[in-house]
Amino acid sequence: MAWNCTKRFPRLSAKLRSVMEYIFDTSAIIVLLEICGLKKQIQAFSTKNAVCIPNRVREEFLDGCKIDKKDVDVFALVSPVSNEELLPYFNRNTSSGEFWTISHGWNDTNCVCVIDDGFGRDLCRFLRIRHTGSIGFISEMKNQGFLSKEDLVSIRQKIRNSSFYLSKELIAKLDEICFS
């Protein structure tokens, strides 16, 4: 079944419309946790928003994890319902975390998929599923007051010094986020 925000946020059930749910693909977790080191900030963000990952994304992340494996526990685990309509886009293969992230986004219209991979973002756009990438999520954390100026300077430097690919447009967007 789709994850229910009221289970994680029982006091917020009356304010359910104000709780935004974000579901992450593996690449976004790598950027946010391994490259940027934002565990504490994501944990704070999760007090006002739902942050979750499908079981499959957790497995993928832990297979190649370069940080403390407990850091991924900042995300609530969900078990999305497999969306059969997505199977042709994934060559009928359900082994990717992206399949499960997009399945969850398809089934829960209050959800934003956080995906950096071009294919996944294009598919979300085609299917009209709400989505953003790591940079967009960083922007949202900043807008909600969960990132300090020091955090933003550090994030910018860490991302620019990493092997994580960003287009010129995303580098400009990151600079805009960090310096505005």
pLDDT tens digits, the chain, 180 residues: what are they?
334 443 444 444 444 446 789 999 999 999 999 999 999 999 999 999 999 999 999 999 988 877 788 888 999 999 999 889 999 999 999 999 999 999 999 999 889 999 999 999 999 999 999 999 999 999 999 999 999 999 999 999 999 899 888 888 988 999 999 888
What is the per-residue pLDDT for 68?
81
What is the per-residue pLDDT for 16?
45
Structure tokens belonging to residue 49: 């928003």
- Using a 10 angstrom Cβ sphere, with 0-12 exposed, 13-18 middle and 19 or more buried, the burial of residue 90 is middle
> How distant is the alpha carbon of residue 33 from its chain centre?
11
Q: Which residues of 100-129 are buried (b: 16+ CB within 10 A; e: fewer)?
A: bbbbbbbbbeebbbbbbbeebbebbeeeeb
What is the per-residue pLDDT for 149?
94
Full-model pTM: 0.86
- Using a 10 angstrom Cβ sphere, with 0-12 exposed, 13-18 middle and 19 or more buried, the burial of residue 67 is middle
What is the identity of the amino acid at 95?
S
- Using a 10 angstrom Cβ sphere, with 0-12 exposed, 13-18 middle and 19 or more buried, the burial of residue 135 is buried
Domains and CATH numbers, the chain: 19-179 (3.40.50.1010)
The DSSP letter of residue 22 is E
Structure tokens belonging to residue 149: 């100026």
